[in-house]
Amino acid sequence: MENTMKKLLAGALIALTLCGCGSKAVETKTATCTNTTKQNGLTMDITTKYDYQDKTVVKQTQDAVITAKDKENYDFAKKYMESANMKDSTKDMKGVTYELKYDEEKLQVSEIMSIDFTKISADDYNTVTNGQANIDGKRFKIDLDKTINGMKASGFKCEL
């Protein structure tokens, strides 16, 4: 009887090990949306990457590069990006990183922002989106399909 119990216990442990206790690792994939806009001596190239699991966005990283045709437009772009004051408004937000870089030689202003949706609060996300998200609650999900459709409607080209 004791031998049978040991065999059953060993068999159960092997089965649990092989099946991973029923948990399955969720694969993270990336969708990328891009857009280029030219206006008044400025070219803005935006690349937004969405890391997602199943159909839920877990992280968003946006890289916007503004290239000016001359120093006057560069100074305008620099002043405009600084006036948005995103660096100060996001510095204490959990799950958000923000960086503004300048390359005077290339006449470029670069903004890189990353949002980890597993860490950011709904209030902070509403602040980052200027209230356009209108998210309530502590936990929220960003739907990949709705996000991609919105980006395409705004003129972005997206690849999954």
Sketch the domain layout of the chain as residue ranges: 26-159
Question: Looking at residues 16-26, what average pLDDT do you find?
Answer: 52
Partners of residue 42 on adjacent β-strands? 39, 68
Residue 25 is predicted with a pLDDT of 81
Is residue 66 within 8 Å of 44, Cβ to Cβ? yes
| C-alpha gyration radius of the chain | 23
Residue 135 is predicted with a pLDDT of 64
Q: What is the tens place of the pLDDT at every residue in 65-122?
A: 999 999 999 999 999 998 887 888 888 899 999 999 999 999 999 999 999 999 998 8
Global confidence as pTM: 0.79
Provide, rounded to the nearest whole percent, the portion of the chain with pLDDT above 90.
62
Tokens representing residue 54 in the block: 């199943």
CATH superfamily assigned to domain 26-159? YehR-like (3.30.1830.10)
